[in-house]
Each structure stands twice: as C-alpha cells, then as structure tokens.
Copies of this chain bind each other. A is one copy, B any other.
Amino acid sequence: MTLVKKATGVLEEFDENKIVNSLVRTGIPLNTAREVASKIIPKTKVISTKEIYERVLGELKRVNIAYAEAYRLREAIMELGPTGFPFEKYIGEILRALNFQVTLNHVLKGRCVSHEVDILAVKNGRKILVECKYRNDWGGRVNVKTVLYVYARFLDLIDRLDEAWIVTNAKFTLEAVKYGKCVRLKLVGWNYPPGNGLEELIRRTRKYPLTVLLTIQMVDYKILLDYGITTVDKLASLTPESLSELLGIGYEEAFKIVSDARNFMKVLTHM
C-alpha cells in the first residue's frame, strides 16, 4: 500500500480514482483520464500530492499539450501576479463572457467616503460590486476580516449598488463563508460554492488565462496584458502576423504561440 502525503502533512491511501476524477473535472475525456491515471502507480511507499501532480502533468503533455495546460489551471492563475491587477482584469473578462457590462477600478461616492471598487458589473439593471482577492500562494485563505470589510464597503455604497461579491482564486475560511451567507454577500472561491466556483466558471465560459499556455514567455505575457489580451481565446483569434508585430518577435515564434492557443481552444471545445 502506498500513502499520499498531502500539502497539510496528512497521509491518506493512494487512490487511482482520485486522479481520474481530477482529470475528468478538468474536462479530459474519461478514457484518456483512465489511461493517464493507470500510469501513475507509485513505486515508493510515500508520495506527495505535488509529485503526483508533476507526474500526471508529464503524462498529459505526452498525450496532448492542451490537456496539460488545462490541468494546470490553478497554477496558471497564480502566475497572473505579482500584483492583483491582472487577476482583476481577467475576472472582468469572465464577467463579460457572462454578459455583464464591466468597469474596472471605478470610483463610487458612498454615504461616508469614496471607494475605488475593483469591478463594477452591471446586468439587467442590477449593479454589482465585485471585489477581487488574488493570492499567489497555495493554501492561502480569504478570512472573515475581508468579508466584514467588503460588507461595510457595500453598506456605504448601498444607495448605488444592488449586490456585492468577493471573487478569489484562493479558498474561504469557514467563518468567512458563514458570515458571507448571513449578510448575503456572494462569495466565489476556487472551490466555492461547490459546483459553482471559479474553476467551474472558467471551464463554463472557456475564458482561460493566457498563463495556462506553456509556450508563452513571461515577457510576452506582460506585453499582451498591456494590450488587454488576458485570455487564450483572444490570443487564438489573432493572426501570427499581428502577434509577431505586437510582440516584436519573428513570424515562426508567433506562429507557434498562436497555434498553441488555437490547439488549446480546439481541444477544449471538443472536451
């Protein structure tokens, strides 16, 4: 029997089905998922979740690079940083895909003070304050203090807003969830609410962040961000010629990046 050591230090029995599940959740077809998982039988008595992750990623790369890219979605989002601004821009794109009208860093006058809100999202006349909490560490959690603070902000803006949301790539503490429910603030975290968290929103809207692409360099990513291109589908819609001009790189390199983006979108649409 092999034991798996989780990030928290807890040990649990190795279970191939868990790998299959995580792959299927990613959008990979069941047959491929089973095939990949069957290759990850550990040879050591104890294996870390990180090691399993790396090995799964390696297998996926061999099958189809797009599978690997989709699988590392959470890591990719953490690469959006170092500040929270690219994350806000990216969440804005997801909201646009959900037919919200989006304004970033809007200043709203409240009852007591003015507030620069991360995102003002409007749909069917409803005005929503969206506060983004970006964390670039695993295991970071948004705690009740943040939810209390956003609620007070919402109360100060109550004359102008209908709802307030907090969107994070991290998780929420139990207290944060309890308080959020109680004051009716909508919390969207990586895995929260169950079946409707950020991961699911991304997979449903197909708005993947640029950082999933394994072919793209950090320096190019930053330039694209400045041009307002934060998602793979936008990159895939460019011609190699225009990308080459945008980034000041050769046609071949640009062609490779665009092909990777198009392959990613194609595979995901068929997933």
Which residues from chain A sit less than 8 Å from chain B, CB to CB?
111-113, 144-145, 148-149, 151-153, 155-156, 175, 178-179, 182-183
Residues of B near A179 (CB, < 8 A) are 112-113, 156
Let me know if B156 and A111 touch, CB within 8 A: no
Minimal beta-carbon separation of A118 from chain B (angstroms): 13
Would you mind naming 23 contact pairs between A and B with Cβ atoms under 8 Å apart?
A111-B182, A112-B178, A112-B179, A112-B182, A112-B183, A113-B144, A113-B175, A113-B178, A113-B179, A113-B182, A145-B149, A148-B148, A148-B149, A148-B152, A148-B153, A148-B156, A149-B149, A149-B152, A151-B152, A152-B152, A152-B155, A155-B155, A156-B179
Minimal beta-carbon separation of A184 from chain B (angstroms): 10
Complex Cα distance, B145 from A111, in Å, reads 15
The residue in chain B whose Cβ has the minimal distance to the Cβ of A146 is: B149
The residue in chain B whose Cβ has the minimal distance to the Cβ of A151 is: B152
Copies in the complex: 2
Complex Cα distance, B148 from A207, in Å, reads 33
Complex Cα distance, B112 from A175, in Å, reads 9
Minimal beta-carbon separation of A108 from chain B (angstroms): 14
Complex Cα distance, B175 from A153, in Å, reads 13
Minimal beta-carbon separation of A211 from chain B (angstroms): 28
Most buried by B among A113, A144, A182, A183: A113
Complex Cα distance, B178 from A111, in Å, reads 11
Which 6 residue pairs of A and B lie closest in terms of their CB atoms, listed nearest first? A112-B182, A148-B152, A152-B152, A149-B149, A112-B179, A113-B179
Complex Cα distance, B145 from A183, in Å, reads 18
Residues of B near A153 (CB, < 8 A) are 148
Minimal beta-carbon separation of A43 from chain B (angstroms): 46
Minimal beta-carbon separation of A119 from chain B (angstroms): 17
Complex Cα distance, B149 from A175, in Å, reads 15
Complex Cα distance, B145 from A156, in Å, reads 12
Residues of B near A145 (CB, < 8 A) are 149
Minimal beta-carbon separation of A259 from chain B (angstroms): 45
Query: Besides A112-B178, A113-B179, A148-B152, 7 other CB < 8 A contacts?
Result: A112-B179, A112-B183, A113-B144, A113-B178, A148-B148, A151-B152, A152-B155
Minimal beta-carbon separation of A242 from chain B (angstroms): 42
Residues of B near A149 (CB, < 8 A) are 145, 148-149, 152
Minimal beta-carbon separation of A133 from chain B (angstroms): 12
Complex Cα distance, B179 from A46, in Å, reads 54
